[in-house]
Amino acid sequence: MARTATVFKAELSIANMDLHYYETHPLVLAQHPSETDERMMVRLLAFALNAHEQLQFTKGLSTDDEPELWQKSLSDEIEVWIELGQPDEKRIRKACGRAKQVIIYCYGGRSTEVWWSQINTHLQRFDNLRIVNLPKESCEAMTSMVQRTMQLNISMQDGEVSISDHQHNIDIIPETLFPS
């Protein structure tokens, strides 16, 4: 019998001093049976880094036509397409053709370096693409915060991110790979 998704609730209190954005977002996430806790926490972090009232989680792993998160306009145009991991060039090309802005959050450590060295020359033509590398150690550390109900405080200033709950505090410094 196939396993079903596990439902998590997260309340993100976001303070982005760089963009003057201060909001609390109550979220419900469905963790696909094949999704790791690390990947789920990276999804939450990606939400926080791009927080907007129209930003929403998609079906994600269970569909090929959607990213992990997207922000759509009232006329149903895709304004922001957010991917996680190391998508292939074809998927990136498709995303850049469908959305005004595409953001990829990589988090694989050494495998990200290998992926980036193989794909970076093929992406130079995309002016609506941004690729951000999240430190592997920070992403792994976020798994210590995983609970079925989470209350997370996320603050951002000068490009640095701090995520905390009642027991942990993790500092993250995202690195922009593209555009350089």
Residue 36 lies in a domain: yes
Each residue's pLDDT tens digit, 38-87: 999 999 999 999 999 999 999 766 567 899 999 999 999 999 999 999 99
**CATH at 150:** 3.10.640.10
26, 9 Cβ separation under 8 angstroms? yes
d(CA 31, CA 115): 25
Each residue's pLDDT tens digit, 107-123: 988 999 999 999 999 99
The share of the chain scoring above pLDDT 90, in percent, equals 90
Q: How many domains does the chain have?
A: 1
Residue 40 lies in a domain: yes
Instruction: Report the pLDDT value the prediction gives residue 94, as an integer from 0 to 100.
Output: 95
Residue 1 lies in a domain: no
Which structural domain range is residue 59 located in?
Answer: 6-178
Instruction: Report the pLDDT value the prediction gives residue 180, as an integer from 0 to 100.
Output: 77
Residue 59 lies in a domain: yes
Edge-to-edge strand order for the sheet containing 69-72? 55-57, 69-72, 78-84, 99-106, 129-133, 175-178
Residue 157 backbone dihedrals phi, psi, to 5 degrees: -155, 135
Residue 125 lies in a domain: yes
